[in-house]
Structure 1
């Protein structure tokens, strides 16, 4: 940000050349982690923008070829659901699958909804509230021989389950801060099918950067930070996974003292996200009780301030009182080393006992 302040778009001096080289190295590294080529990856401000470019950018192709059917799910992030709502207002038929209590959308449920005019399937890799892993690699194999494109919001999965993302997925959205990189940087992978690329129309105009899909001066320090974070995460992946899983096991065992309910298919979850509720306990009141010990939320960071029941838990068919009081716990292993597990569980147990007494 200080000593190397060159613009990657300036090609007439060394500062610009060095910046361009840094961006190219980052692009090659990140694309390589996804078994893709550097030319298939563009930089964005994060997964929200990547999702919008993928979904809204494909719409003109669908309109021009009478393919207005889109399949997605009710548990997607708002960064997918709201663009889909916009497309519905433009005449697209958006078919949302509800996964049921498991929180996992089956490949068969997608297969049953495929039609000749299905333009796109958009399914997240890992649910941000429950941690449930979606079968995106299997879905990619299903769709690869069809004209239907597959978009995956991999904000929560990149770095953790990157192997899944090496499958022939047409578009993949990534956010840097989910692997410890800077906030405000992400990527959209746009994978070719043979010689053909996904026919996206840009949402903004004003320059030729990023294959003309995302104009504007590239934030070189953020791009370098994302690449470095992804490099570190890849190198330390097994250690991170084992430590996250160990903490999860300790937490689940300790919570056995309380009347707790875990949400989603626990056989298909990442080790760093846990969604739960405590019988008879108001989630917001419990958050206040625990604020000196841990930072927890009722849903995703984008919606936790709204105090409304989680749309993810509601769409899984959970009762209203349970959906309203679901708590989302997530962690990086090095953030929880000093947590006093006994104190945390005792506070929850005591609060649950008080709530039961006054009820």
Structure 2
């Protein structure tokens, strides 16, 4: 039986979450916008309970949570939604990094086409962004800083707290793509200097197709975002459309579970990781990235191309050699390339990612299969 080790692409749905989703699909199927009958009222209550649960994870107010279809949409709203404000305020400089997810880089590139000036900070070979590089990039006309918390390919954990310290004297809005850290390393996201946080349901045991954008107020002022779509006025007009109550209820339940169990889950994941590094060291693996998440191991095996490794491990583990969002592309990883790793190391890179539901890794069988290709 193949062991699923591609949780950075998507996690399994937690049983408790599946139960909640099923309830709101088949039993409480009302529209949260229908206020004249109990089905609509019950749906509305489920949405608001989920809103409170999502907010609690990062110590935000529930009024600061906007439900979306996922982190990609949240990223687009956070970035493109500042377009009008930036032009009016004559602040058209954006800071991001070379290792962001495409859901951040591509919206920023769209603004760049419209005349925005963008600074792309490069990581060190460790995959980490230095606070000093952010400080040196800041300008008076910087309107937005967008830096992910945990990289989806390497698992590198960026020093969000240090970035917040750098930005304390700046008016620039700070957006964090937290798709890989919300519900896992959430305490760092509780820093009030973070203005916007993007959340993805299917990275934390909730269904695909739901996420959130958390937008903190500065004092009593909201982040000056403009909607990308119009019609209906749902979610205070920022993200119109009939709310997918079942999916939102599932996200709320996964947020509640993560708030209660994340430390225990991370301890389990770290034990799996330590064992994997120990057992695979016989192949002189090169771990790509420092200060990495407990649930991710991106590594290269000298002399073994990643495509060959995937063939060797087929039927044993389900893994990735890059981001699922760019799996149709055979171009080298932009993340590992930005880290200035050599071509052979990049071509050999494999990403394994697991979760609290992963009982163990089939390391002996992996070693046996890999040995036959070396």
Report the TM-score, using the length of structure 1 for normalisation: 0.95
Q: CA deviation at 1:349?
A: 2.7
**Correspondence list, 1:1-359, <5 A:** 1-168=25-192, 169-265=194-290, 268-337=291-360, 339-352=361-374
Tell whether the 8 Å contact from 2:154 to 2:297 is kept in structure 1 after alignment.
yes
Q: CA deviation at 1:336?
A: 4.2
- Secondary structure class of the residue paired with 2:120: strand
Cα gap change, 1:29 to 1:321, in 2 (>3 Å):
same
- 2-structure distance, mates of 1:193, 1:208: 23
- Secondary structure class of the residue paired with 1:276: strand
The higher-RCO structure (CA 8 Å, 6+ apart) is 2
Unaligned runs of 5+ in 2: 1-24
- 2-structure distance, mates of 1:135, 1:211: 32
Q: CA deviation at 1:325?
A: 2.5
Kindly provide the CA deviation profile for residues 171-229 of structure 1, in whole angstroms up to 9, marking residues without a partner as x: 00000111101110000001000011110011000011112110000000000101111
Kindly provide the CA deviation profile for residues 303-343 of structure 1, in whole angstroms up to 9, marking residues without a partner as x: 12322210000000111222222111101132243x43111
Tell whether the 8 Å contact from 1:141 to 1:167 is kept in structure 2 after alignment.
no
- Secondary structure class of the residue paired with 1:132: coil
Q: Report which stretch shifted further, 319-328 or 171-180.
A: 319-328
Cα gap change, 1:205 to 1:123, in 2 (>3 Å):
same
Q: CA deviation at 1:232?
A: 1.6
Q: How many residues align?
A: 349
- 2-structure distance, mates of 1:325, 1:66: 45
Displaced runs of 4 or more, over 6 A:
none
Q: Corresponding residue for 2:15?
A: none
Cα gap change, 1:132 to 1:257, in 2 (>3 Å):
same
- 2-structure distance, mates of 1:305, 1:349: 28
Cα gap change, 1:305 to 1:336, in 2 (>3 Å):
farther
- Secondary structure class of the residue paired with 1:305: coil
Kindly provide the CA deviation profile for residues 131-189 of structure 1, in whole angstroms up to 9, marking residues without a partner as x: 00011122123324421000000000001100000002100000011110111000000
Q: CA deviation at 1:114?
A: 0.5
Report the TM-score, using the length of structure 2 for normalisation: 0.91
- 2-structure distance, mates of 1:144, 1:171: 15
Tell whether the 8 Å contact from 2:134 to 2:166 is kept in structure 1 after alignment.
no
Tell whether the 8 Å contact from 1:308 to 1:324 is kept in structure 2 after alignment.
no
- 1-structure distance, mates of 2:158, 2:327: 23
- 2-structure distance, mates of 1:112, 1:329: 35
Tell whether the 8 Å contact from 1:257 to 1:349 is kept in structure 2 after alignment.
no
Tell whether the 8 Å contact from 1:309 to 1:325 is kept in structure 2 after alignment.
no
